[in-house]
Structure 1
């Protein structure tokens, strides 16, 4: 649980993922297209991944992956992120974390 909490606080946009998950891939692509480079933590490539997944569920994350945090707050999974994006609410949330283009 401590590792999960630490990872969430390390960067503005944090995503817990599995490398083989197509929905995780879709959310990663969305973030990259809107200029955000999230910290992606692949649970299936971490020896503590299963424990971390259980910790995320105890924190109230309703689906295993993807699990997205913005500004340290749980946003949700694919459906919630896409709903925010389509409704125009995602960009204001991630604006402080967008890459600055020169």
Structure 2
């Protein structure tokens, strides 16, 4: 399974929903980068994504987007193939 990275904060309901969706699809480990604990990571996230909101999800180094993007990808049956790729 490819590496899953999620920029997040401690009190973000969409981050919790994204994590729940990923876990329901078999993801056991999510590397969380907490931008509220490490403010310098916010700049890193913005440079990588062009976005200011969390969550920002990466699967295998590919930027997926926020929860809405992740959910849409799942509904279009595109999430599992990404998670099953090596």
Taking structure 2 as the reference length, the TM-score comes to: 0.85
Counterpart position of 2:68: 79
Q: Find the residue that maps to 1:30 and give its secondary structure.
A: helix
Higher helix share: 1
Counterpart position of 1:93: 82
**Residue-pair matches, total:** 84
Distance apart, 1:83 and its partner CA: 0.5
Distance apart, 1:14 and its partner CA: 0.7
Taking structure 1 as the reference length, the TM-score comes to: 0.73
Structure 2 unmatched runs, 5+: none
In the TM superposition, 1:1-102 aligns within 5 A as 12-37=3-28, 38-45=30-37, 49-96=38-85
Post-superposition CA distance 1:4-63 (Å, at most 9, x none): xxxxxxx61111110100000000011111110222222223xxx221111211223424
RMSD over aligned Cα atoms: 1.7
Structure with the greater relative contact order (CA < 8 A, sep ≥ 6): 1 or 2?
Answer: 2
Q: Is the 8 A contact 2:8 2:56 kept in 1?
A: yes
Structure showing greater Rg: 1
Quote the Cα distance in structure 1 between the aligned partners of 2:52 and 2:84: 25
Q: Is the 8 A contact 1:53 1:64 kept in 2?
A: no
Structure 1 unmatched runs, 5+: 1-10, 98-102
Distance apart, 1:96 and its partner CA: 3.6
